[in-house]
C-alpha cells in the first residue's frame, strides 16, 4: 500500500471559519422510499470530501440537494450562510456560486466549447463578452484544451468533454464544486486526464465534494471520506484511517469489493 | 502457387468500356422478366402521355397572341389569358389605379423573406424590421394618411395570400412556443389552459374555425367591437397554426434530455433564459422536419379563407375565369396559381433543409 503522497501546499481548512455547507437532520423521500436518512454533514471552506458507497446509497442525491437539483423534505441545508428554501431567487443566487460536474457532462451540444463556457458568465453574471471569453480561454488552458475552443462538444472525446464541463463550472468562479461521478461514463484511458484536472483544482484550495469510486484520487486529495450505504452516512474519516482501519462492517465489505 | 495458374482476366477492349454504362442500364431495365415488363409498361405510359402533354403545354398553345379569339380556335393551352389577366389575377378587385400599392407590398414581402433567410441577418433587429414593414404594408394596402382608402373587402390575390401566410405563421410560431411550454408547465392552471386551447382547436376543422370567426362572431359582438373580417380570418388562421405548431414544438422539447435542464440550472440560469438559450434552440432544431411540414400545410391552408369571402389567389382565379370574352381557361389559371403556391412551399422546404444541415449534430 502506498503511503500518503506529497502534502498539498494550500491553506488548510480552518474550523473557525463559517462552514461552506452545513446539513443538519436532512431527510428526503421519493414517494415512500426514504432516500436520505438524517444526514448531518459540515463541510469547511477549502475542504475536499470524497463521498463513496454502493450504488443506490443516496450519494448523488445528497450532493444534488446542495444546489437544489433535488429538494429535501426535512432538516436544514445552509450553503455559504444561506439556507435553502423554496425561494427561487435565492436558489439561483446559490447556484451561481456552486459549480457542478455531471456524470454525462451535459454540455450544450448546439454551442461551441467557447460558447458553452461564456453562456452563464454573460447571461447570469452579466460579464462583457470579451472578458467572458478571456476567462473561458484561461480555464480551457488550465484543463489543457485551449485548441478545442471553436469545436462543438460532439467533436470531442469523453475526457475532453468532461474537462470542458469542469472549465464551464469554473468560469462562474464558484466557491464550491460538486462532482457527481465525473469519471464513471469515461473510457478507462480518459479517466486520468479528468482526475488530473480535479487534482489541480484541489491544489488551488477549492471546496470540493466528489462522488466517485476513484480510491486513488480519494487517497491523494480527500481531507475526509464519507461512506454512505442504504440512504445513511455510515462512516466519515480521513483517507488514511478509512482505508487502513474501516470501523464499520459495511465499509469493510465495500472496500473489499472495490479494492478487488 | 495455385493463384498463378488462374487465367488472367482478359484486357477490356476500349469499346467494352465505352458501352459499359449502356450495358449496366440495360441489365437494370431488362435484367429480370419483371423488370422487363415494368420497363415496357412505363415506356408505353410515357409515349402515351408526354407528347400530348407537350402539345397542349407548348406546341399547340397560344403563347403571345393577346386576342381571345386565338384561344377559342387553339387546341392547346391559352397562356395569353394569364398575361392579359395577370393584373386581376394577382391583385383581385383592388382598384385599378391603385394596383401599384399591392405590387409594392408583394415585392416588399418577398424581398424581406429573401433577406430573412440569410443567417447573417438573424438578429433582434430583424423582428423590428418586420414589424415596421408590416405597418408599412397595412398602410399601403388599406390607405389613409394621404393614400386613397381601400377597404379589406377590396383586397385580393397574391398580397392577401402573402400577408395571411406571413402574419399567421409569424405570429403563430412564438405563440406556439408559449403554448408548448405552457402544456409542459408544472402549474396546473397554465397546463390545463394550454391543453384545452390546443385540443379544442385541433379538434375542429379549419373551415369551421373560419366560419365561427367570420359568421358567428358578428352575431354576439356589437358592431363597434367587431374586428374587420380580414383580421378575424387572420386571427383564426393564427390560432389554428399556433395549436399545431405547439404540438410539434412540444415533440421537440420532449427530445431534450433532462441533463440539459440540470446543467443550465446548476449554472444559475433562470427559467426563461434556460428556455431561450439552451432548450428551445435544440428542441426546434429536432423538430425542423415536422415544423416545415406544418408550415407548408399552413401556407396552402390560407386559400381556405375564400369560403368566408376573402379574395385570396384562388378566389381571384375563379373571378378572372368569369370573363365571358375568354373561353374560360381554368386549367391554365389554376396551373399558374399552383405554380405560385409551389414556389412558396418549395422555397420554404429548401430553407428548412438548409436549417437542418446547419450547425452541429445533436448529442
ipTM: 0.91
pLDDT by residue (tens digit) across B296-350?
999 999 988 888 888 888 888 888 888 888 888 889 999 999 999 999 999 999 9
CA distances B40 to B36, B43, B52, Å, are 6, 5, 19
**Taking residues A228-235, what's their average pLDDT?**
94
Asked if A108 and B268 come within 8 Å (Cβ–Cβ), the reply is no
- DSSP-based three-state secondary structure for A1: coil
CA distances B305 to B160, B237, B245, B249, B312, Å, are 10, 9, 20, 26, 7
Closest chain A residue to B358 measured between Cα atoms?
A110
Which stretch of DSSP H or E encloses residue B232? Answer: helix B229-254
Which stretch of DSSP H or E encloses residue B292? Answer: helix B288-301
| Cβ-contact B106, B159 below 8 angstroms | yes
pLDDT at B17: 56
User: What is the longest distance spanned by two Cα atoms in chain A?
Assistant: 55
- Pick from A92, A102, A152: CB nearest B268: A92
Asked if B267 and A168 come within 8 Å (Cβ–Cβ), the reply is yes
Asked if A119 and B277 come within 8 Å (Cβ–Cβ), the reply is yes
pLDDT at A7: 45
pLDDT at A148: 93
Chain A residues with CB under 8 Å of B360 CB are: 109-110, 152-155
- Pick from B263, B281, B360: CB nearest A154: B360
| Cβ-contact B333, B283 below 8 angstroms | no
pLDDT at B2: 46
CA distances B208 to B232, B247, B304, Å, are 13, 20, 11
- Pick from B263, B268, B273: CB nearest A106: B263
Helix intervals (H) in chain A? 59-66, 88-96, 113-123, 129-142, 158-170, 188-203, 215-221, 239-244, 249-258
Question: Which residue segments constitute the domains of chain B, with CATH numbers given?
Answer: 1-55 (no CATH), 95-358 (1.10.3720.10)
Which stretch of DSSP H or E encloses residue B311? Answer: none
Chain B residues with CB under 8 Å of A95 CB are: 265-268
| More confident site: A204 or A3 | A204
Strands A33-43 and A21-30: antiparallel
What is the C-alpha to C-alpha distance for residues A80 and A62, in angstroms, rounded to an integer?
Answer: 17
Q: Which of B142, B68, B118, B125 is nearest to B320 (CA)?
A: B68
Give me the residues of chain B with pLDDT under 70, please: 1-19, 361-363
pLDDT at B14: 54
pLDDT by residue (tens digit) across A102-141?
999 999 999 999 999 999 999 999 999 999 999 999 999 9
- Separation of CA B231 from chain center: 20
Ramachandran area for residue A126 (φ above 0: left; ψ -120 to 50: alpha; else beta): left
Chain B residues with CB under 8 Å of A61 CB are: none
Chain A residues with CB under 8 Å of B269 CB are: 119-120, 123-124
What is the C-alpha to C-alpha distance for residues A107 and B260, in angstroms, rounded to an integer?
Answer: 7
pLDDT at B188: 95
Q: What is the pTM of this model?
A: 0.85
Closest chain B residue to A154 measured between Cα atoms?
B363
pLDDT by residue (tens digit) across A137-181?
999 999 999 999 999 999 999 999 999 999 999 999 999 999 999
What is the C-alpha to C-alpha distance for residues B316 and B156, in angstroms, rounded to an integer?
Answer: 7
Alpha carbon of B257: minimum distance to chain A alpha carbons (Å)? 9
Asked if A95 and B266 come within 8 Å (Cβ–Cβ), the reply is yes
Asked if A172 and B360 come within 8 Å (Cβ–Cβ), the reply is no
Residues A84, A90, A93, A95, CA torsion sign: positive
Q: Which of B356, B348, B315 is nearest to B165 (CA)?
A: B348
What is the C-alpha to C-alpha distance for residues B286 and A9, in angstroms, rounded to an integer?
Answer: 49
pLDDT at B8: 54
Chain B residues with CB under 8 Å of A104 CB are: 259
| Beta-carbon pairs below 8 A across chains A and B | 72
Residue of B263, B277, B362, B363 to mutate for A, most A C-beta atoms under 10 A: B263
What is the C-alpha to C-alpha distance for residues B282 and B298, in angstroms, rounded to an integer?
Answer: 23
- Pick from B268, B273, B360: CB nearest A95: B268
Asked if B266 and A154 come within 8 Å (Cβ–Cβ), the reply is no
Amino acid at each position: 500500500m502506498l503511503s500518503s503522497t506529497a502534502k498539498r501546499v494550500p491553506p488548510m481548512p480552518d474550523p473557525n471559519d463559517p462552514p461552506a455547507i452545513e446539513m443538519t437532520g436532512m431527510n428526503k423521500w421519493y414517494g415512500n422510499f426514504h432516500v436520505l436518512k438524517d444526514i448531518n454533514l459540515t463541510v469547511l471552506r477549502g475542504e475536499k470530501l470524497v463521498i463513496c458507497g454502493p450504488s443506490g446509497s443516496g450519494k448523488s442525491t445528497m450532493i444534488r440537494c446542495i444546489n437544489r437539483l433535488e429538494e429535501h423534505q426535512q432538516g436544514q441545508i445552509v450553503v455559504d450562510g444561506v439556507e435553502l428554501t423554496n425561494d427561487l431567487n435565492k436558489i439561483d443566487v446559490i447556484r451561481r456560486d456552486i459549480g457542478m460536474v455531471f456524470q454525462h457532462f451535459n454540455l450544450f451540444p448546439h454551442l461551441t466549447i467557447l460558447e458553452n463556457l461564456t453562456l452563464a458568465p454573460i447571461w447570469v453574471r452579466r460579464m462583457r463578452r470579451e472578458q467572458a471569453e478571456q476567462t473561458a480561454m484561461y480555464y480551457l488552458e488550465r484543463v489543457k484544451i485551449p485548441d478545442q475552443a471553436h469545436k462543438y462538444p460532439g467533436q470531442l472525446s469523453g475526457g475532453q468533454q468532461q474537462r470542458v464541463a469542469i472549465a464551464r463550472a469554473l468560469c462562474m468562479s464558484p466557491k464550491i464544486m460538486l462532482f457527481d461521478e465525473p469519471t464513471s461514463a469515461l473510457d478507462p484511458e480518459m479517466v486520468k486526464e479528468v482526475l488530473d484536472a480535479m487534482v489541480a483544482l484541489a491544489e488551488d484550495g477549492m471546496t470540493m465534494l466528489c462522488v466517485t469510486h476513484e480510491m486513488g484520487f480519494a487517497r491523494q486529495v480527500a481531507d475526509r471520506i464519507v461512506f454512505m450505504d442504504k440512504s445513511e452516512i455510515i462512516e466519515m474519516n480521513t483517507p488514511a484511517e478509512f482505508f487502513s482501519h474501516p470501523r464499520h462492517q459495511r465499509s469493510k465489505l465495500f472496500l473489499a469489493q472495490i479494492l478487488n | 502457387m495455385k493463384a498463378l495458374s488462374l487465367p488472367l482476366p482478359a484486357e477490356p477492349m476500349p469499346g467494352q468500356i465505352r458501352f459499359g454504362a449502356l450495358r449496366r442500364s440495360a441489365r437494370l431495365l431488362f435484367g429480370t422478366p419483371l423488370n422487363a415488363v415494368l420497363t415496357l409498361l412505363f415506356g408505353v405510359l410515357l409515349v402515351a402521355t408526354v407528347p400530348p402533354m407537350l402539345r397542349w403545354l407548348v406546341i399547340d398553345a397560344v403563347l403571345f397572341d393577346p386576342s381571345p379569339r386565338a384561344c377559342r380556335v387553339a387546341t392547346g393551352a391559352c397562356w395569353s389569358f394569364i398575361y392579359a389577366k395577370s393584373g386581376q389575377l394577382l391583385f383581385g378587385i383592388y382598384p385599378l389605379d391603385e394596383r401599384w400599392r399591392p405590387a409594392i407590398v408583394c415585392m416588399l414581402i418577398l424581398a424581406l423573406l429573401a433577406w430573412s433567410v440569410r443567417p447573417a441577418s438573424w438578429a433582434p433587429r430583424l423582428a423590428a424590421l418586420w414589424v415596421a414593414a408590416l405597418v408599412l404594408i397595412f398602410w399601403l394596402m388599406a390607405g389613409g394618411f394621404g393614400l386613397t382608402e381601400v377597404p379589406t373587402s377590396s383586397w385580393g390575390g397574391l398580397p392577401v395570400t402573402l400577408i395571411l401566410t406571413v402574419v399567421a405563421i409569424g405570429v403563430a410560431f412564438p405563440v406556439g412556443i408559449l403554448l408548448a411550454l405552457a402544456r409542459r408547465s408544472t402549474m396546473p392552471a397554465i397546463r390545463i389552459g394550454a391543453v384545452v386551447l390546443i385540443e379544442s382547436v385541433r379538434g375542429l376543422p379549419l373551415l369551421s374555425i373560419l366560419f365561427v370567426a367570420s359568421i358567428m362572431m358578428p352575431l354576439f359582438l356589437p358592431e363597434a367591437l367587431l374586428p374587420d373580417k380580414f383580421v378575424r380570418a387572420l386571427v383564426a388562421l393564427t390560432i389554428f397554426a399556433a395549436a399545431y405548431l405547439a404540438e410539434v414544438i412540444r415533440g421537440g422539447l420532449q427530445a431534450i434530455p433532462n441533463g440539459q435542464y440540470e446543467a443550465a440550472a446548476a449554472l444559475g440560469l433562470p427559467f426563461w433564459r434556460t428556455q431561450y438559450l439552451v432548450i428551445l434552440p435544440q428542441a426546434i432544431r429536432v423538430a425542423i422536419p415536422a415544423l416545415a411540414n406544418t408550415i407548408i400545410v399552413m401556407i396552402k391552408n390560407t386559400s381556405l379563407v375564400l369560403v368566408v369571402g376573402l379574395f385570396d389567389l384562388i378566389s381571384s382565379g375563379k373571378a378572372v375565369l368569369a370573363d365571358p370574352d375568354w373561353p374560360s381557361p381554368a386549367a391554365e389559371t389554376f396551373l399558374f396559381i399552383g405554380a405560385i403556391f409551389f414556389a412558396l412551399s418549395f422555397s420554404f422546404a429548401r430553407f428548412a433543409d438548409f436549417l437542418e444541415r446547419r450547425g452541429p449534430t445533436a448529442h
